[in-house]
Chains A and B, each alone.
Chain A
Amino acid sequence: MRISTAYAFSLNTSALLDKQSRLSELQQQLATGRRILTPADDPAGANRALQASQGLARTQNHLNNMDVATSRLKQELTILNGAKGVLDAARAAVMGVQSGTDMALRRDVANHLSELLQDLLAYANSRDSNGDYYFAGSLAGSAPFSAGPPVTYAGNSFQLEIAISDSRRIPVADPGDAVFSMGTANDPFAALNQLITDLQYPSLTDAAYTAAISAGLDKLVAAADQVRTIQNAVANRLDVIDAAGTIAIEFRRQFQDELQRVERVDLQQVAVELQLQQVSLQASQQAFARASQLSLFNYL
């Protein structure tokens, strides 16, 4: 077959250019560590990589949310423990004066109960690291419990929730009225105030005294039970988060694997191909240089 001299040169040149561009693509893959440099390199892969990275980001959001939720709930648990301790201490103190004959002792217990009341109030008005009140519902900017007496609740019953998965939200706060039995017969603040009054009231008949102490104790026990119920609920939520966290971490691993599978360049394979391309480019260049020296005009 006849070959046109100029066309042979241009064919050779374009072959060299093709090889160089493939070489540069391989180098770029190695440099970025990514197989897909633009979506055209693997359209379906680019789509999958985006979906995986979006799934990864969503899962990471949920994991971050879980961290926040866990930390809030653990703090709440600590506060609830403290509050329950106060109620238990009050009950124990009251049990010591059930007979009620020693007026001096009754006064001591009454003073002790006053301190415990302040402790309980302090727990009920606990604030988080931002200075927001834990047990105020959504009205967290001001103290939910007044000093009294009577102690009143100024918060609302809003429950802050955090999303721990696409479909699941978990409460991370409990409104103070629910925690401290406000508005019910077992209001511990009212019970304590009543006990303090009764303990200091000398002319109460024995029967009336016994009844009052017994009623007060019942209320303290019921209030402590309510705190325990909330504690259990919080512990349950922590368990739920724990379980969801395990799943989310597994999801995250799968999304990461998917990204690796789709995007990551096989270093070994690329390195081998790079070597081959280099050899091939070099050979083409040498062949070109040799062939272009061949001309009949050299012999004229």
Chain B
Amino acid sequence: MSIYSIAVTALNSANVAIATTGHNIANVNTPGYRRQEAVLATNFAVRTGSGFIGQGVNATAVRRIYSGFLEQQVFRSEAQTAYMQRSAAAINQIDGVLGDRSAGLSQALQQFFAAWNSLANDPASTPARQGVLSAAESLSNSINIYGEYFRALQGGANAEIRSLVTRINADAAQIADLNRQISALQGSALQPPNDLLDQRDEALSQLNRLAGVTMVTNETGDYNVFVSGHALVLGGTANRLSAQPSPYDPTRVEVYAGASGAQLSVPGRIGGELGAIVDFRSRQLDPAQNTLGRIALSLSMQVNTLHQAGKDLTGAAGGLFFDDLTGLPQVHANSANTGTGFLSASVVDGALLTTSDYLLTYDGASYTLQRLADGTSWSGASLAGLSATEGFDLSLSGATAAGDSFLLRPTAAASYSMGVAITDYTLIAAAGGSAPAGAILDNTTALALAALQQDRTMMRGDNTFESAYALWVGEIGSAAAAAKANEVLYGNLLQQAEAAQQGVSGVNLDEEAANLIRFQHAYQAAAQLIKTANALFDTLLSIGR
């Protein structure tokens, strides 16, 4: 071994180190990139009579700087943060539209009752009658506008679930593909394929933000990825998710394992953005529709009952004032039902309605109805007493088969179906039911309708229409405030974890600049070594001249 060859090892090693530094600099902004460093080691020394003479340096590996512990912290936080961020944004869509006190439903309710007060003050007045009709129109409109908005949010949730499932499948496929590439490369060479490992970690991190996955590394180093118990990636194989219509409601998209596997979109079971949307839909959006629908149902039923007990300007008994919504409960038969059973429901008492949906199942012997919000259930004979506790009646026809089930949403459809049933102001029944013909100054019914404003006719007599609405706004506000607080809290946790992880694995350009100088100096010194060896050799040659 000569000085030349030692110098060459030094040049080569410095080259590797400079190239690695350059790679770090080049990838300073690459997502998921972990900085790399050249690992340098001395070559085997040669034993001589004078002792071991060093044989230079050798770049044994390029390794990425990676702390499994810190990566794990980020992994856990990023799914939670993605969930919280998406939840907060979703609930803001409801919170935001309830914000303006002077433009919302509250204002429309106030104007509706103010109009009935004016009519009660002057029951024969045509302007007062027209005022009642236009206030009723704008009240129905404002309920329907919210109802349609919530429906649009349901549509948006469907679209988002479909798009998330597509992205999740793409990430899963990428991880499976990288699993294959990595194990092929690791099988043939002992050196780690750093950039592929980074790419796989980045794909996993993306997937984790989308769906909150769990990951297990198998003995060959493959990433096996699970979402809500479903093996999404096993080695080189990705098992896709699918987004398909719910068996109960074709307008609602659910997530399934594979094309025909178990339903995964169960509230509280998935994490990440997908989980946030699934949970938001069941825990905020459905109840919001139901709450608004309950106000619409209670209001229209109460007004109609009083109105039908009165007499209009022509002396005839009052008709429906608002469209009848009592027959509107949505019943969705499971598409897998094998029987011919047909379920229908009608609302009988608006004061008893809850904001929950219900599931009716038949086991071949008896029916069981479950209130989905809290799991309370009725079966057999107790089903007949439903109207006295839940405010609606069920009726079944046809033959239900064992295992058949029906989803019941008593109030949701009412949220976008309000309508004023009369257009002719003479048909407003302001007079009492016993008013004789020509009793144009009888305001008995108008007074009763105006008094509905302060009558506690909702939620088992606990609330007026207005206080029920105020309560709801408070609930949505609390949920949105909590979501916002969680978003900040989990965002901070993630920031801590990322700061720690980046502190170890991130590229610092000043450090790279210093390294560049260091390795450049090493390179220059090695070059100087060659020059020195050359000078020594020249000295030797000059002896023979």
A interface residues (Cβ-Cβ under 8 A, vs B):
1-7, 11, 36-44, 46-47, 49-51, 53-54, 57-58, 60-61, 64-65, 68-69, 130, 132, 136-142, 156, 158, 160-163, 166, 169, 173, 263, 295-297, 300
List of A residues within 8 angstroms of B110 by Cβ: 53-54, 57
Interface flag for B486 (CB, 8 Å): no
Q: Mark B498-510, 1 if CB is under 8 A from A, else 0.
A: 1100111111111
Inside 8 A of B453's CB, which chain A residues have their CB? 58, 61
- 18 A-B pairs with CB atoms under 8 Å apart are A5-B509, A6-B502, A6-B507, A7-B498, A7-B499, A11-B495, A36-B99, A39-B95, A39-B98, A39-B476, A40-B483, A43-B474, A43-B481, A60-B114, A61-B117, A64-B121, A136-B441, A163-B451
Contact A7 B106 (CB under 8 A): no
A39 to B504, CA, bound (A): 42
- A39: chain B residues within 8 A (beta carbon): 95, 98-99, 473-474, 476-477, 480
- Closest chain B residue to A3 by CB distance? B508
Determine whether the beta carbon of A4 is less than 8 Å from that of B114: no
Q: Does B171 contact A (CB under 8 A)?
A: no
Q: Are B469's CB and A50's CB within 8 A?
A: yes
Beyond A37-B99, A44-B474, whether A138 also contacts B467 by CB under 8 A is no
Q: Which residue of B lies closest to A37 (CB)?
A: B99
Q: How far is the CB of B413 from chain A (nearest CB, A)?
A: 25
CA distance A2 to B505 in the complex (A): 9
In the bound complex, residues from chain A placing their C-beta under 8 Å from that of B506 are 2-7
Q: Is the CB of B443 within 8 A of A49?
A: no
Rounded to whole angstroms, the CA-CA distance of A41 and B476 in the bound complex is 11
Q: Which residues from 455 to 511 on chain B have a C-beta closer than 8 Å to any C-beta of chain A?
A: 466-467, 469-471, 473-478, 480-481, 483-484, 495, 498-499, 502-511
* Closest partner residue, chain B, to A136 (CB atom): B441
Let me know if B443 and A38 touch, CB within 8 A. Answer: no
Residues from chain A with a CB closer than 8 A to the CB of B113 are 57-58, 61
CB neighbours of A68 from chain B (8 A)? 121-122
Cα distance, A40 to B473, chains bound together (Å): 9
What CA separation (Å) do A263 and B102 show in the bound complex?
Answer: 12
Chain B positions within 8 Å of A51 at CB level: 466-467, 470
Q: Which residues of A contact B477 (CB under 8 A)?
A: 38-43, 46-47
Q: What residues of chain A lie closer than 8 Å to B476, measured between beta carbons? A: 39-40, 43
Q: Give the shortest distance, in Å, between B471 (CB) and chain A (any CB).
A: 7
Contact between B474 and A4 (Cβ–Cβ < 8 Å)?
no
Contact of A163 among B28, B117, B481 (CB under 8 A): B117
A37 to B100, CA, bound (A): 7
Are the CB atoms of A54 and B471 closer together than 8 Å?
A: no
Chain A nearest CB from B397 CB (Å) reads 44
Looking across the interface, which residue of chain B has its beta carbon closest to that of A9?
Answer: B29
A50 and B124 CA atoms in complex are apart in Å by 33
**Is B215 an interface residue, CB under 8 A from the partner?**
no
Assembled-state Cα–Cα distance A36/B451 (Å): 30
The residue in chain A whose Cβ has the minimal distance to the Cβ of B441 is: A140
CB-nearest residue of chain B to A64? B117
Among B117, B121, B125, B502, the residue within 8 A (CB) of A7 is: B502
A47 to B507, alpha carbons, bound, how many Å? Answer: 50
Q: Is the CB of A169 within 8 A of B441?
A: no
B428-443 toward A: CB 8 Å interface, digit per residue (1/0)? 0001000110111111
Q: Are the CB atoms of A156 and B436 closer together than 8 Å?
A: yes
Let me know if B73 is at the binding interface, CB within 8 A: no
Residue of B441, B475, B476, B511 with most chain A CB atoms under a 10 A cut-off: B441
- Given A37-B99, A43-B478, A130-B122 in contact, is the A3-B443 Cβ separation under 8 Å? no
B96 at the interface (CB under 8 A from A): yes
Determine if B502 and A47 form an interchain contact, defined as CB atoms under 8 angstroms apart. Answer: no
Q: How far is the CA of A88 from the CA of B518 in the complex (A)?
A: 123
CB distance from B470 to the nearest CB of A (A): 4
Count of chain A to chain B residue pairs whose CB atoms are closer than 8 Å in the complex: 187
- CA–CA, A89 and B535, complex, Å: 149
Does B214 touch A at the CB level, under 8 Å? no
B47 near A: Cβ within 8 Å? Answer: no
CA distance A263 to B99 in the complex (A): 12
* Interface residue? B450 (CB, 8 A): yes
Q: Give the complex CA separation of A60 and B470 in angstroms.
A: 19
List residues of chain B with CB within 8 A of the CB of A50.
101, 106, 466, 469-470, 473-474
Q: Does the CB pair A4–B124 fall under 8 Å?
A: no
Q: How far, in angstroms, from A51 to B472 measured CA to CA in the complex?
A: 12
Cβ contacts under 8 Å, B101 to chain A: 46, 49-50, 53, 263
Q: Mark B108-120, 1 if CB is under 8 A from A, else 0.
A: 0110011001101
Given A7-B502, A51-B467, A61-B117, decide whether A142 and B438 contact each other with a Cβ distance below 8 A.
yes
Residue B41 is within 8 A (CB to CB) of chain A in the complex: no
Question: How far is the CB of A42 from the nearest CB of chain B, in Å?
Answer: 7
A138 touches B435 (CB 8 A): yes
In the complex, the chain B residue whose C-beta lies closest to that of A133 is: B441
B394 part of interface (Cβ distance < 8 Å): no
**Which 5 pairs across A and B sit closest by C-beta, in order of nearness?**
A4-B506, A39-B477, A43-B477, A47-B474, A40-B480
Pair B99/A38 contact, Cβ less than 8 Å: yes
Residue B237 at the A interface, CB < 8 A?
Answer: no
Contact among B106, B117, B436, B505 with A54 in the assembled complex (CB-CB below 8 Å): B106
Q: Do residues B508 and A47 form an inter-chain contact, with CB atoms below 8 A?
A: no
| Chain A nearest CB, measured from B120 CB (Å) | 7
**In contact, B117 and A6 (Cβ under 8 angstroms):** no
A158–B29 Cα distance when bound, in Å, is 85
Residues of A within 8 A of B109 (CB): 54
Contact check: which of A2, A61, A141 meets B114 at CB < 8 Å? A61
* A38-B95, A142-B438, A163-B451 known, 18 other contacts, Cβ within 8 Å: A1-B503, A5-B510, A6-B28, A6-B507, A7-B498, A38-B99, A42-B477, A43-B475, A46-B474, A50-B106, A61-B117, A64-B121, A65-B120, A140-B441, A156-B436, A166-B451, A169-B447, A295-B509
Closest beta carbon of chain B to A39's beta carbon, Å: 3
Select from chain A the residue with minimum beta-carbon distance to B498.
A7
- Asked if A54 and B96 sit within 8 Å, CB to CB, the answer is no
The one of A47, A130, A141 that contacts B125, using a Cβ cutoff of 8 Å: A130
A158:B513 contact, CB within 8 angstroms: no
Pairwise interchain contact B473-A47, C-beta atoms closer than 8 A:
yes
Establish whether residues A140 and B124, one from each chain, have CB atoms under 8 Å apart when the complex forms. Answer: yes
